[in-house]
Every structure is written in C-alpha cells, then in structure tokens.
Amino acid sequence: MNNEERFWNATMEELIKGYVYDGMDEKYVCLLCSESFEDGIIYPIDGTLYEAKKAVVCHIQHAHRSVFDYYIDLDKKYTGLTDHQKELLLHFKEGLSDKEIVQKQNGGSASTVRNHRFKLKEKEKQAKVFLAIMTLLHESSNQKKEQQFVSFHKGAKMVDDRYAITEAEEDKVLSTYFKEGIDGKLDTFPSKEKRKLIVLQNIMRRFELNKTYMEKEVNDILKSVYSDYVTIRRYLIEYGFMERSKDCLQYWVKK
C-alpha cells in the first residue's frame, strides 16, 4: 500500500495522530510523508533516544510542525476551507478572542468573527454526520471496481472531474498503454487528460519519497519508460506529481 492509499484509508483517530501502525511490517508510518519507524528499534533524535512510537511523534513535530499545521496547508479541494477560514482557524488555535482577532486583521467586527465561529462549528457538525453516513454506506454496500475511485496524491493540481477515475478505468488504461506490464515501457503517451493522469501516476511508482534526484537521474528513469522523457518530466511538474528547485537541477516527489 502506498502512502496515498494509507492516508485515505486511515481512521479518524489515525488522521488526528498523523501516523498509523503497520502490523504486517511492525512499524509506525507517518501519514504526512511516509517516513517509517520500525518497532523494536531505538531512534536518536536531538540527543535523546526514543522508541519507534515516540519517534514518529517527534518526527511529525520536527518535520511538519504539527498535524494541524499540515492539514491547514492542504488545498481547498481537500479541506473545503477558504483562505479566510484557514486564517481564522489559526487564530482560534492561538486562543485569541474575537476582539483580538479583529485587531490582528486590522478591520471587521467582533460580531463578524463570532458569526464565523458559529458557521465553522455548524460545518463541523455536518462533517461528522456526513462521515457517519459514508461510513455506513461503505459497510453496507459491496462496491465493485467500476464504483471504486483511484486515490491521487494530495499535491495534485487542478483537481476536477478528470480525477474521477475508477479502478476499472485505471486497469484498462494501464493495460492499453503499458503493453509489457505496468513496470515496462510506455507504448504511447495519451492525449486525453484522464488517461494522462493514470499514466503519470503509474510512472511515479518508479520514484522514491523523501529522496532528492538530480535532473540527470530523473531523465534516466524517464528514458527507461518513454523516449520523449522531456514531455513526461514537464507533465509530472505541471500536474503536481513532482517539484523541482528554482535552478531546475533537483527534483523530488511532491507529498
């Protein structure tokens, strides 16, 4: 299971903690970046030794500031929050009063902030009920591949109905464009957007998380997939699968 699947399959409790325990491999895995800590191993962090469970908590604090900070920075597509709502939530987290928030924002009124508090609380209630409804739906239905959607990375750009791809669609596209198998060469690069996304997501399986690649390394990997590696590289950046440094010399998987 890749980290995208692990993230979207996590329980609410696991999402709040920011990590899951993988019983098969006996390790704690950060849901935010896939960094893992093997049970039974002691990890030195800032001069202190930690067991794996405590080490993943320390990792989240050092690498991501907090689970709250990571989630609040996610795109609106995943949080449903406007920039203004995110700003208010950050102020609420600081424990600021309505009047203090008005002063920080240099405008508005305490009653407006109070109204936002109320609306966000209502949004929370609605989200809980909706989550319960969807959980009950999944438990009571036997969804087939034609009904189950493919999970895309959280850094995906321009998320719209192009990303509404079922597992059955993914299987069909991959078998069409990777005739030698999903680990083989790409036959042709598709022109349709949905198919591009499926192909690009599969190509990303050849890159490791938490690793920085030089441009030549990226090119070598992509050349083994498709002759026009420059086009593939451009789309990986354009669709948010990868990021690169300003001088375009270093590349890494977008988390």
pTM above 0.75, yes or no: no
DSSP state of 148: P
The domain spans of the chain are 3-66, 74-140, 161-253
Token readout for 172 is: 């069909």
Amino acid identity of residue 166, one-letter, is: T
The Cα–Cα gap between 75 and 207 comes to: 23
The Cα–Cα gap between 48 and 42 comes to: 10
DSSP state of 255: -
82-to-5, 73, 102, 153 alpha-carbon distances in Å = 26, 11, 18, 20
- Given its phi and psi angles, is residue 164 left (phi above 0), alpha (psi -120 to 50 degrees) or beta? beta
Write out residues in the chain with pLDDT < 70, as ranges: 1, 141-165
May I ask the CATH architecture of the domain 161-253?
A: Orthogonal Bundle (1.10)
pLDDT for the residue numbered 145: 47
pLDDT for the residue numbered 234: 94
CB 14 within 8 A of CB 20: yes
Q: How many CB atoms are located within 10 Å of the residue 164 CB?
A: 11
pLDDT for the residue numbered 197: 86
Element (H, E) at 233: helix 229-238
CB 243 within 8 A of CB 250: no
- Given its phi and psi angles, is residue 66 left (phi above 0), alpha (psi -120 to 50 degrees) or beta? beta
Q: What are phi and psi of 250, to 5 degrees?
A: -120, 140
Q: What are phi and psi of 211, to 5 degrees?
A: -130, 135
pLDDT for the residue numbered 90: 95
The Cα–Cα gap between 27 and 56 comes to: 10
Q: What share of the chain is helix, strand, coil (3-state, %, to 5)?
A: 55, 10, 35
pLDDT for the residue numbered 163: 56
